[in-house]
Amino acid sequence: MTTLPRPSRPSIAPPTGPLPALPVAKSRSNASPASRTSPSTLLPSPATASRAVSSSALPQRPSPKSHSSSTSNVPTLAAADTPAGPLPPGKSLRKTVSIGAFPQPPKHAGRTASHPPSPLSASSTPNNDSMDQRLSAGGSKSVTPSREGSIRKPAPRASLGGRSLLKSPLTPPSLLNGSGESVSVVNTGHLSLPSPPQSRNSSAQGSYATSATTFEDVTEEDSRGRSDSKTAADRNSLLKDGKGNVIVSVRVRPDVGVKDSKQELEWDVNAKRALVSYQGKEGGEYYYDNVFDTQDNNRRVYDAAAKRLVRRVMEGYHGTVFAYGMTGTGKTFSMQGTATNPGVIPLAITDIFSYIRETPQREFLLRVSYLEIYNERINDLLAGPIQSGLNGQVGGQEEIKLREDSKRGVYATPLKEEIVQSPTQLLRVIARGDNARRVAGTQFNARSSRSHAVVQIVVESRERAGGPVGSLKENKRSAIAPGGVRVSTLSLIDLAGSEKAADSKERRTEGSHINKSLLTLGTVIANLSGEKDKAGSEKDKASKGKHLPYRDSKLTRLLQPALSGNSLVSILCTIQIGSSGSAATANSHTGETLNTLKFASRAKNNIVSHAKKADESLGNGVDAGSRALLDRYRVEIQELRRQLEEQNKAKETTTEVKEKDEEEEKARELEDKHRHEEQMLEMQLARTALKERIEHLNRLILSSKSLGVNANRSFSSMSLQNRGSLLSNAGDTRPISARSSASHATLEVPGHGMSHASFPTLPLEGSEEDDSLGENGDGIASQTAQIHALQSDLADKNRYIGTLEKRLLQARRSSHSRVSMSLSQKLAASDDGGVNAAIAERDAEISSLRAQLEDKERMIAALTSAGRKRDNANDIGSDGSPASRRTSHQRSEGSNGSVNVKVKGSPISPVGLLSSPKAEREQQLADVTRMLDEMLSQRVDNATGARRSSLRPVSEDR
């Protein structure tokens, strides 16, 4: 349902309902059938020109306080507040009231000051002049090339080119401004008005004399206002006729070079009256919504012809602006402009972003595409370079096709769309497309566009989640259901120019494609009148049901949605009056110009737009065909948020699991530690057991040694036994027997458990030893042998201890578990006290062994020293004695010891021992033997202690 805005509402408020046409006089219904412009006739016929605004189309001046005024309330010109003065006698009210009947808008100094005079904008046009000129619009053929038009009779219907753009009295004042800059000015003006009706009327600038091009919604209030002067049928027919949504403008390019005075005389361009008239052959007057003369810049063109359309697009309507005209007449100049004089496209971009800034309650998403139709092929200008192939064919891009569906209408696919977030970004994208567009020099234009270029800006918008609801309530026109996404499209099209045959083949090929597509466009537009009448009146039987060849060219196919009424349309036709500077002859140039003007007239008369604001889709965004990126993004954002939450939860869970794992790990480590300690204990026990075994074995060994030394006063060892055998064989039996018995005694020790072979024999010293023994014959030789035997014995024991230690280590490494088992059993079997006692006992044994070892070492040292002294004595006592024949080996061995041995409190001198009488010597020998025994005992003890200390680190582990 259409919501009617209050007239004094700010212009930026979007309408809420479909956009109907401005209620204008439906000229066709009032004109005779003969007055229709035939598609085949290029020039407007007099009949067409004679189309007049019917009285029914003219709104009556409403009462400021009441909408129920009757025709009697229609003011005369005299009643109207216009400097045009009273209506001349004889003029019918119908013809003269159209403009002057309405009160003038309040004059604000700011309006004229801030805006250049415009025939299109109430806020910017000096009203008096404007009104004067409009009152004069009509039959006069006299053309004044100046902007200051003279009063003329009303223009024929054909010239009713929608001159009243933005000035309809039926439109809310806030929507009547044509430029962004004027918004605030106009608003201010309207807000100062005492009442809505007044404000509505005050903005009227006599627009009912024309086909009223305005992009306004028909509001309730508008309808009420019109009810004063219109029947319901008239109103309905006006609503059906969507002319208000189509603007046709003509722009005249300045001549280049010398002006042709003849042509100057023939042509009249009256910007204020929006009139172009030609007095030459096939001439006529052509009225449009806007006529821009050579003085007008691009800003003015944009403000009047495109600005409001652009804002409507931002509100949800589809909009199409295209430039049409002969080559070189300024289409590209108008659409793109220059750095100092920006054209429609850059100005529209600026406005789009201004609108976004002004509309904080909504959020927008913009995407842009840019294509060209070159030689009936569509190229994507944003998809990288387009390569030229053979015969002018293009390559390097996937072929782009036109498709159609009920939602999107006709669209090109696949086409690159870029999402843009700033004016600069959007301009840059378009500049990139411009660079890729086909341009070539022709004899008509040094930089002629060889293709139709289409910029499409898709605008998606949605109410902001936490938007200012209050402000929306205040403004019904912008009130929308929250959540829905509105998608609208602004198409900005720079057509290639129609042209005569060109020089080169390539240009001719291009030209033929361009001309063909433009011809198709003309045909479609011409035939639209039949379509319109089919929907509206039954009068035009001739044109009824005419074929609309949209599919005959890609251009018309692409423009189909706009031409068939789904879009607001603004057509800018460019012409050049003089042919100077053009390669075309004056005649053909004029013909082309007239063709352009006729095209514009047909477009104005035939294109009917019933553009409606795009629905707000509440799509879930999952649908792949959904066009609304905002929807898709919203769904994607929701999905990502959900994933984020899941990840957070998962993270929490992971942390919990991790903590749990850490606890378990700690428990495991603790358990391992306990187990390790147990194992260490087991190992310690195993070591203790092995030590016991070693010590036991040592004890056994030392016991046998002790037995040999202490009990029999003899050096008992296997080596000595062997030695004794040797000596026995040599014939000296006395000491041998004693030793022999000792040896036997040793062998007879029960439970020794050690084989005889495990003790290495003492190395023999050969014949020299025998000689020495034989020479002295007093046991000195046997002492030497004893020393050797003791040394050997000591070495044996050390080796044995080493072996046992090795075994202990091996046992610890390789079979600790087995040992642990057995030990644990053993441990279980014994109590702690028993183990400690055993350890203490073993320690005591080790101490005694150590002491024995030390004794042995001392004894060895003493014997060695004694032997050396004896040698010295022999050397001194008798020259040439056997001592002089001692080997160097013996000498060096004797030199090792320097031990003073004390026996019974007095030092025993080995020299004395060797030189004393025999009895003494025996006594001394016994003492020495005893002493050696003690020393041996100490020596063994020391050695064992050393071994034990080597094991200490292990035992410390316990």
Ligand X SMILES: Nc1ncnc2c1ncn2[C@@H]1O[C@H](COP(=O)(O)OP(=O)(O)OP(=O)(O)O)[C@@H](O)[C@H]1O
> Among 449, 529, 590, 944, which residue interacts with ligand X (rule: CB under 6 A)?
449
User: What is the Cα–Cα distance from 514 to 468, expressed in whole angstroms?
Assistant: 50
353 vs 444 by CB, closer to ligand X = 444
Give the x-and-dash track for 311-330 against ligand X (CB under 6 A).
Answer: --------------x-xxxx
Site for ligand X in 65-124 (CB under 6 A): none
Contact, 759 vs 818, CB < 8 A?
no
381 vs 928 by CB, closer to ligand X = 381
CA distances 695 to 169, 807, 809, 839, 849, Å, are 129, 14, 16, 11, 9
> Among 428, 447, 658, 660, which residue interacts with ligand X (rule: CB under 6 A)?
447
User: What is the Cα–Cα distance from 221 to 720, expressed in whole angstroms?
Assistant: 145
Stretch that binds ligand X, among 2-10, 99-107, 373-381, 446-454 (CB under 6 A): 446-454
Contact, 609 vs 21, CB < 8 A?
yes
Stretch that binds ligand X, among 165-173, 331-339, 501-509, 704-712 (CB under 6 A): 331-339
User: What is the Cα–Cα distance from 311 to 631, expressed in whole angstroms?
Assistant: 22
Closest approach, Cβ 263 to ligand X, in A, equals: 17
Stretch that binds ligand X, among 109-117, 445-453, 462-470, 584-592 (CB under 6 A): 445-453
> Among 111, 253, 311, 634, which residue interacts with ligand X (rule: CB under 6 A)?
253
User: What is the Cα–Cα distance from 411 to 402, expressed in whole angstroms?
Assistant: 5
Closest approach, Cβ 374 to ligand X, in A, equals: 13
16 vs 334 by CB, closer to ligand X = 334
208 vs 333 by CB, closer to ligand X = 333
Q: What SS3 class is residue 135?
A: helix
Q: Which helix (H) or strand (E) holds 825?
A: helix 816-829
User: What is the Cα–Cα distance from 798 to 427, expressed in whole angstroms?
Assistant: 100
447 vs 660 by CB, closer to ligand X = 447
> Among 445, 772, 852, 865, which residue interacts with ligand X (rule: CB under 6 A)?
445
Count of CB atoms situated within 10 Å of the CB of 254: 13
Closest approach, Cβ 297 to ligand X, in A, equals: 8
Determine, following the binding rule CB under 6 A, whether residue 343 of this chain makes contact with ligand X: no
518 vs 790 by CB, closer to ligand X = 518
Closest approach, Cβ 411 to ligand X, in A, equals: 25
Listed residue (542, 545, 563, 556) closest to 606, CA to CA: 563
User: What is the Cα–Cα distance from 634 to 629, expressed in whole angstroms?
Assistant: 8
User: What is the Cα–Cα distance from 160 to 949, expressed in whole angstroms?
Assistant: 126
Contact, 825 vs 686, CB < 8 A?
no
Stretch that binds ligand X, among 61-69, 444-452, 826-834, 950-958 (CB under 6 A): 444-452
Closest approach, Cβ 120 to ligand X, in A, equals: 18
Q: Where are the beta strands (DSSP E) in 438-514?
A: 439-440, 448-449, 452-463, 485-494
Contacts 24+ apart (CB under 8 A), 944-947: 944/695, 944/698, 944/801, 944/846, 944/847, 944/849, 944/850, 944/853, 945/846, 945/847, 945/849, 945/850, 946/850, 947/801, 947/802, 947/805
Closest approach, Cβ 441 to ligand X, in A, equals: 10
> Among 288, 333, 411, 715, which residue interacts with ligand X (rule: CB under 6 A)?
333
Q: What SS3 class is residue 6?
A: coil
Stretch that binds ligand X, among 184-192, 441-449, 456-464, 824-832 (CB under 6 A): 441-449
> Among 83, 194, 254, 483, which residue interacts with ligand X (rule: CB under 6 A)?
254
206 vs 330 by CB, closer to ligand X = 330
52 vs 344 by CB, closer to ligand X = 344
Site for ligand X in 554-593 (CB under 6 A): 574
Listed residue (198, 206, 202, 224) closest to 165, CA to CA: 206
Site for ligand X in 497-536 (CB under 6 A): 497
Site for ligand X in 840-869 (CB under 6 A): none
446 vs 650 by CB, closer to ligand X = 446
Closest approach, Cβ 420 to ligand X, in A, equals: 25
Q: How many residues does the chain have?
A: 958
Count of CB atoms situated within 10 Å of the CB of 678: 12
Determine, following the binding rule CB under 6 A, whether residue 169 of this chain makes contact with ligand X: no
Determine, following the binding rule CB under 6 A, whether residue 658 of this chain makes contact with ligand X: no
List residues forming the annotated binding site for ATP: 325-332
Return the CA Rg of the chain.
63
For residue 169, which amino acid is it?
P
573 vs 936 by CB, closer to ligand X = 573
Closest approach, Cβ 250 to ligand X, in A, equals: 12
> Among 36, 331, 507, 687, which residue interacts with ligand X (rule: CB under 6 A)?
331
The bridge status of strand 362-374 relative to strand 377-380 is antiparallel
Number of residues in contact with ligand X under rule CB under 6 A: 17
DSSP string over 539-564? --TTTTT----GGGSHHHHHHHHIII
448 vs 564 by CB, closer to ligand X = 448
Q: What SS3 class is residue 323?
A: strand
> Among 368, 459, 487, 496, which residue interacts with ligand X (rule: CB under 6 A)?
496
Structure tokens at 511: 């030209």
332 vs 566 by CB, closer to ligand X = 332
Closest approach, Cβ 331 to ligand X, in A, equals: 4
> Among 16, 223, 332, 489, which residue interacts with ligand X (rule: CB under 6 A)?
332
Closest approach, Cβ 302 to ligand X, in A, equals: 13
The contact set with ligand X (CB under 6 A) reads 253-254, 325, 327-333, 445, 447-449, 496-497, 574
